Structure 1
Amino acid sequence: MKRCTISIVQFESTLGPAADGTLDRMAETIAAADADLVVFPELATTGYHVFDEVLEVAEPVPGPTTEVLGAAAADAGTEVLFGMPARDGDDVYNCAVWIDADGDVRARYDKRHLWGDEATAYSAGDSYAVVDAPFGRVGIQICYDLNFPAASAALARAECDIVINISAWSVRMERDWHTLLPARAVEQGAYVIGCNRAGTEAGTTFCGHSTMIEPDGTTVVEMGAGAGQVAVTLDPGVVAAERARNPMRTDRPETDVDATRYDSSRSSDCSKPI
């Protein structure tokens, strides 16, 4: 890993097609950022509540949206990560797209764990995504993925230096956001960045509080509830020191054993599993 600066954009999307002015605002934000990577939240290009019109607003990747944001990334000389609905044949995915500093699509991650009504609009992805960026290895998650330790463990096995979760996390679930981000950092032995939505959309208020957490679970940067942008600097020395202090990565087995079940009502002999 190399020292790098990441710009976290706590974005308030406009609900509807990306070309309704949202892409222009995103491009302006990229141009203004002095960073190695600019990160936008889940479904930043269209807004979150596009379930009824997802077929109309979804686009192929590469496509018109990645062309516009790719040009902005190339002009600024920065990498960009953002969420959008992606059309792939007859399927639509809630996806994260990584564009490199040359403006090319480098990676696409399709959300694996769909929350609530998302399952009626999107197909689930079938693999996790890791990007070997110029400054380090980055694991990508989307929102509800954060709840699943197995998803974090997969990225840890891939030896990620940084894990980024782009999200549309609501106020109703805010306590979980503050609990899970530091837990995932400790599990990873890596920096964890949570980039969340701001504002209210279709009756849902997003909690904001985009966050950067060090590998020992310490919160270094936390935004408020409103839209905004903050630059954070990541130091490889912090990662190395934490992995020396807590050798979880070295000690974690490639695969874990299944739990053995016991029924205390059936036998007093604890050596007899069910």
Structure 2
Amino acid sequence: MRASLIQIDVDPDESVNSRRSRVASLVREQSGSDLVVLPELWPVGAFAYESFETEAEPLRGATHDAMVGAAADAGVWLHAGSIVERDKSGTLYNTALVFAPDGTLARTYRKIHRFGFDKGEATMMGAGEELATVTLPTTVLGLATCYDLRFPELFRGLVDAGAETLVISAGWPERRRAHWTLLAQARAVENQAYVLACATAGTHAGVPQSGHSIVVDPWGEVLAEAGSGEEVLVVEYDPGTVATTRERFPALKDRVLG
């Protein structure tokens, strides 16, 4: 299976509409891949709180429409990162969108763990309540967004729901980049699953981003890692390794709590 993680540089001088068009073109260029992954809140920037209200969009808004065409033209499964969603009641959510190769919206996921410690995203957005998985022909994706990475119980729930490839879309700050790498490897090892973690580059509202999108196998080995700038990280991996790993080292069967 081939996966492409597109590490977007969210430049504050680039308009949201221009970035949508540019990212759609980048997705179309990945037509040889099976799965393409984008970062968290790439249209506006994960830390650009002051823009959340003005750039919020309905689930089937401008970003949805741009990604529908890009996924269909490339013929790929597309985890389109996340958007600032405004629902019919006016509540904002950090919502991930996953598209099938025909452009159909296959799954959404509203971020459960909101970052901010009683400010920012934690006060501006509603919390998701449901875990989300997506069944591809060769693997089952478990969806998570950024701050979710710090909560292992979420990933246990995804594994219990059948997940074999854990996909994390993020806007992770550079100052905590060591945690990003460590936690991605930990989630892979403890769940005996692949981790595909796609982050942003650039600076959001004065907050430098980590970059360093990463792909980790079920043994915790790093298969590929991006640098700090905008980059397309392409990796080939065998989803069958998950079943083999869990059979040869059946630690998950020894769970006692939870």
Contact 2:213 2:226 in 1 (8 A): yes
Q: Distance in 2 between matches of 1:87 and 1:47?
A: 16
CA–CA distance in 2 between the matches of 1:16 and 1:252? 50
1:23, CA displacement in angstroms? 0.9
* Count of aligned residue pairs for this structure pair: 252
Counterpart of 2:139, as a letter, is: G
* Counterpart for residue 7 of structure 2: 10
> Is this contact kept in 1: 2:212–2:227, CA < 8 A?
yes
Moved more, 58-67 or 22-31: 58-67
**For 1:67-94, what per-residue CA distance to the aligned partner results, in whole angstroms no more than 9, with x for missing partners?**
1110111111111112111111221101
The aligned counterpart of 1:148 is 151
Counterpart code for 1:13: V
Q: Which amino acid aligns with 1:101?
A: P
Q: What is the correspondence of 1:124-163 to structure 2 with a 5 Å cutoff?
A: 124-163=127-166
**Counterpart Cα distance in 2 of 1:60 and 1:134:** 29
- The 3-state SS of whatever aligns with 2:112 is coil
Query: Aligned Cα RMSD in Å?
Result: 1.7
Tell me, which stretches of 5 or more residues in structure 1 are unaligned? 257-274
Q: Please give the alpha-carbon distance, in whole angstroms, between the structure 2 residues aligned to 1:102 and 1:136.
A: 18
- Write out aligned runs for 1:117-128 (5 A): 117-128=120-131
TM-score, normalized by length of structure 1? 0.87
Paired with 1:213 and 1:9, the residues of 2 have a C-alpha distance of 16
Q: Which residue does the alignment assign to 1:87? A: 86
Distance 1:165 1:42 in 2: 9
Task: State whether residues 148 and 154 of structure 2, in contact with CA within 8 Å, keep that contact through their aligned partners in structure 1.
Answer: yes
Equivalent residue letter for 1:77: G
Matches within 5 A, 1:236-247: 236-247=239-250
Shift of 1:134: 2.5
Cα distance in 1 for residues equivalent to 2:35 and 2:226: 18
Higher relative contact order (CA 8 A, sep 6+): 2
Aligned equivalents of 1:171, 1:55: Cα separation in 2: 25
Residues 16 and 46 in structure 1, CA contact (< 8 A), matched pair in contact too? no
- Is the partner of 2:10 in helix, strand or coil? coil
Normalised TM-score (structure 2):
0.92
CA deviations 1:182-221 (Å, max 9, x no partner) are: 1100121110111011112221111111000000111111
1:53 offset after TM fit, Å?
2.8
1:5–1:233 Cα contact (<8 Å) kept = yes
Which residue is equivalent to 1:262?
A: none
1:16 positional shift:
8.8
Structure 1 distance, partners of 2:12, 2:127, is 22
Give the conservation status (yes or no) of the 8 Å contact 2:138–2:239: no
Q: Distance in 2 between matches of 1:134 and 1:56?
A: 38
Q: Give the CA deviation at 1:49.
A: 2.9
Displacement of 1:17: 9.5
Structure 2 unaligned blocks of 5 or more = none
Distance 1:16 1:146 in 2: 29
Tell which structure's C-alpha radius of gyration is larger. 1
How big is the shift at 1:248? 2.5
Cα displacement (A) at 1:18: 7.1
1:214 to 2:217 alignment:
yes
CA distance in 1, matches of 2:71, 2:253: 36
Specify the alignment match of 1:268 in structure 2. Answer: none
**2:64 matches 1:66:** yes
Cα 1:251/1:16, change in 2 over 3 Å? farther
Is the contact between residue 173 and residue 208 of structure 2 (CA under 8 Å) also seen in structure 1? yes
The CA deviation at 1:244 is 1.9
1:183 aligns with 2:204: no
**Secondary structure of the structure 2 residue equivalent to 1:125:** coil
Q: Tell me the distance in 1 between the aligned counterparts of 2:11 and 2:98.
A: 21
Alpha-carbon distance, 1:15 to partner: 4.1
Q: Is the 8 A contact 1:70 1:104 kept in 2?
A: yes
After superposition, the C-alpha distances for 1:88-144 in whole angstroms (9 at most, x for unaligned) are 122110111101111111111011111112112211111111111222110010001
- Is this contact kept in 2: 1:131–1:139, CA < 8 A? yes
Q: Which residue of 2 aligns with 1:25?
A: 22
